[in-house]
């Protein structure tokens, strides 16, 4: 057999072994490939979850940062608000200008301005004149050369000097007695001149002293101890207990006047209402602190003050009762809205535009980034005031009045449309949105003045009326008893009502005490301002126009 023709016989066992190893290799390859592919899937799944979690964390972090930044802005705004409340000026100026603008603008000097007309010299024709002649002693009017005396020319050189003298003195009253000269048995043998008029008959203090104490405390806001100290410097020492006791005795006299003023107020149809805190240092059952509230209800003819331990709607309900009706100008305190809502349409509410203006001014001061936005709204409100003033300057019902009325209504409509359009802007800042939402909630009360020209756009009359109470609260802290609190509300009511009518409270109380004396049963109606004749009011009027409270 040749080599080329050698035939290699297959080894069956080896082939089987190789086939087995091939199968195992293929199985292992498939197994490891499957593990590899599963690993890739798991890794991709883990990567996806990681990316998703990272995205959520980034989003949450971004939201947290935005929330913290917003919180920082809010806190910075609150810090600015507190700094403004503690150290800022009590005025409603807009956002301050930049330092460069301040440096470039020339500073206005104080006092009389160059080129401006000087104010008119004040005249005092109502003051009494005390004539006083000044001469030269004889030894001083001799000629220094020959000692000849200067002769009196019977002429003077006149000048005026205004003086104020305060002097305590004792009135020594001597009442003359008269004996009858007839024989009429029905008449007394001796008659004596009547006693002087004293509002507190058993007090050694005269009417002028009581008027002085009342005016100093309840008109000028001076604490009682300071008034006593001032009188002591003039030689009159009065115990504080004597003054307080006298006030409590006068309470019975003034309660009747207070009630008559209250009845007159309820006859009006428009009131300005406001309230402020007041302290009454007497424990009251069911009340944990001594914080009370001084309310004012000011109409065209009266200003009624009410001191109450509550700031709730029930105070307003008690004042107006169930028969009164009209319009209440007020701030946005909820008690007024609740009262009007439950009044069965007897009352309308007129919200104060000054409070709306303050919202925008606060944003301009506390959020500088929104300063331009807020200032724009302040100018819009200024325009509404201007248009309302133009309307009210015309005679109601005239063609000019109707034209002004139309202009005002168009401006109000544009104002509301502008606010609504800005509220639809989702990128509007949160402080701005809150201000516009508040405007939207109170809109119906804010436009009451449109159809009622007699109603002002603001509640300044009530806030000015409370100014005396705020000064008194700061100077003498409040009232020491319930009777003192009642007396305080009554005195504020009488004084502010007199000022509304242009009557000088000092003169009114002086003449009223002289009239009433110790006979408190006399009729009081003729001493109410609306019952006085024009001549009587002129006699008691303030010589200079007084700003209405």
What is the full DSSP assignment across 345-399?
Answer: TSEEEEE-HHHHHHHHHHHHHH-GGGHHHHHHHHHHHHHHHHHHHHHHTSPTTSH
Helix, coil or strand: residue 487: helix
CA distance 440 to 416: 8
* Phi-psi map region of 517: left, alpha, beta (phi>0 left; psi -120 to 50 alpha): left
CA distance 357 to 374: 9
Within 196-284, strands assigned E span: 270-279
- Both structure tokens of 457: 């756009």
CA distance 82 to 76: 10
Which residues on neighbouring strands pair with residue 379, listed in sequence order? Answer: none
pTM of the model: 0.79
CA distance 398 to 330: 30
CA distance 300 to 28: 105
Q: Is the Cβ–Cβ distance between 375 and 365 less than 8 Å?
A: no
The pLDDT value given to residue 549? 39
CA-closest candidate to residue 472, choices 119, 223, 125, 277: 223
- Both structure tokens of 10: 């297959």
Alpha helices (runs of H) in 105-222, residue ranges in sequence order? 207-218
Strands across the sheet with 291-298, in order? 303-308, 291-298, 270-279, 326-330, 347-351
Pairing type for strands 270-279 and 190-192 reads: unpaired
- Both structure tokens of 51: 């990316």
pLDDT 10s per residue in the chain (549 long)? 455 566 666 678 888 888 888 888 888 888 888 888 888 889 888 999 999 999 999 999 999 998 888 888 888 878 877 887 777 666 555 444 444 455 566 677 777 777 788 777 778 787 888 888 888 888 888 888 888 888 888 888 888 888 777 788 888 888 888 888 888 888 888 888 888 888 998 889 999 999 999 999 999 999 999 999 999 998 899 999 999 999 999 999 999 999 999 999 999 999 999 999 999 999 888 888 999 999 999 999 999 999 999 999 999 999 999 999 999 999 999 999 999 999 999 999 999 999 999 999 999 988 888 999 999 999 999 999 999 999 999 999 899 999 999 999 999 999 999 999 999 999 898 899 999 999 999 999 999 999 999 999 999 999 999 999 999 888 988 899 999 999 999 999 999 999 999 999 999 999 999 999 988 988 899 999 999 998 999 999 986 544 433
Q: Is the torsion defined by CA of 376, 380, 385, 389 positive or negative? A: positive
CA distance 209 to 166: 12
φ/ψ of residue 508, rounded to 5: -65, -50
The pLDDT value given to residue 90? 60
- Give the residue carrying structure tokens 């996806």: 48
Question: Side-chain half-sphere of 104: how many Cα atoms within 13 Å?
Answer: 5
Start-to-end CA distance of the chain, whole Å, equals: 145
Q: Is the Cβ–Cβ distance between 484 and 218 less than 8 Å?
A: no
The pLDDT value given to residue 105? 61
């Amino acid at each position: 057999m040749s080599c080329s023709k050698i035939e290699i016989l297959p080894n069956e066992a080896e082939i089987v072994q190789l086939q087995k190893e091939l199968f195992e290799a293929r199985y292992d390859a498939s197994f490891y490939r499957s593990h590899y592919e599963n690993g890739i899937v798991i890794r991709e799944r883990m990567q996806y979850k990681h990316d998703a979690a990272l995205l959520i964390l980034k989003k949450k972090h971004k939201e947290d940062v935005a929330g913290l930044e917003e919180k920082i802005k809010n806190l910075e705004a609150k810090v600015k608000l507190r700094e403004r409340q503690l150290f800022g000026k009590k005025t409603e100026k807009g956002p301050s200008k930049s330092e460069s603008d301040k440096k470039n603008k020339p500073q206005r000097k104080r006092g009389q301005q160059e080129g401006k007309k000087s104010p008119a010299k004040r005249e005092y024709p109502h003051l009494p004149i005390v004539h006083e002649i000044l001469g030269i002693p004889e030894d001083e009017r001799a000629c220094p050369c020959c000692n000849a005396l200067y002769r009196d020319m019977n002429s003077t050189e006149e000048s005026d000097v205004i003086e104020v003298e305060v002097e305590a003195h004792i009135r020594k009253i001597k009442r003359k007695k008269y004996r009858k000269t007839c024989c009429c048995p029905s008449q007394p043998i001796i008659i004596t001149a009547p006693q002087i008029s004293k509002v507190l008959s058993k007090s050694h203090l005269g009417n002028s002293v009581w008027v002085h104490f009342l005016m100093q405390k309840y008109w000028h806001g001076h604490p009682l101890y300071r008034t006593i100290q001032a009188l002591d410097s003039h030689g009159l020492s009065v115990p504080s207990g004597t003054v307080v006791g006298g006030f409590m005795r006068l309470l019975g006299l003034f309660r009747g006047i207070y009630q008559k003023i209250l009845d007159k107020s309820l006859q009006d149809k428009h009131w300005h209402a406001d309230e402020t805190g007041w302290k009454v240092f007497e424990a009251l059952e069911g009340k944990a602190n001594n914080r009370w509230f001084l309310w004012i209800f000011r109409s065209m003819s009266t200003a009624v003050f009410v001191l109450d331990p509550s700031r709730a709607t029930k105070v307003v309900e008690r004042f107006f009762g169930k028969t009164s009706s009209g319009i209440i100008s007020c701030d946005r305190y909820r008690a007024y809205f609740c009262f009007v809502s439950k009044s069965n349409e007897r009352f309308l509410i007129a919200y104060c535009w000054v409070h709306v203006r303050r919202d925008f001014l606060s944003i301009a001061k506390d959020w500088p980034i929104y300063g331009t936005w807020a200032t724009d709204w302040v100018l819009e409100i200024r325009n509404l005031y201007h248009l309302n003033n133009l309307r009210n300057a015309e005679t109601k019902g005239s063609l000019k009045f109707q034209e002004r009325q139309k202009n005002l209504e168009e401006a109000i409509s544009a104002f509301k449309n502008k606010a609504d359009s800005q509220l639809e802007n989702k990128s509007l800042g949160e402080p701005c949105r809150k201000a516009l939402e508040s405007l939207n909630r109170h809109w119906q009360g804010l436009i009451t003045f449109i159809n009622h020209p007699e109603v002002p756009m603001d509640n300044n009359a009530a806030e000015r009326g409370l100014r005396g109470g705020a000064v008194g609260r700061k100077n003498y802290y409040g009232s020491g008893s319930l009777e003192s609190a009642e007396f305080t509300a009554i005195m504020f009511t009488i004084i502010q009502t007199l000022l509304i009518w242009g009557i000088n409270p000092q003169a009114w109380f002086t003449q009223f005490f002289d009239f009433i004396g110790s006979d408190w049963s006399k009729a009081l109606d003729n001493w109410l301002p609306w019952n006085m004749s024009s001549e009587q009011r002129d006699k008691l009027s303030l010589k200079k126009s007084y700003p209405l409270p």
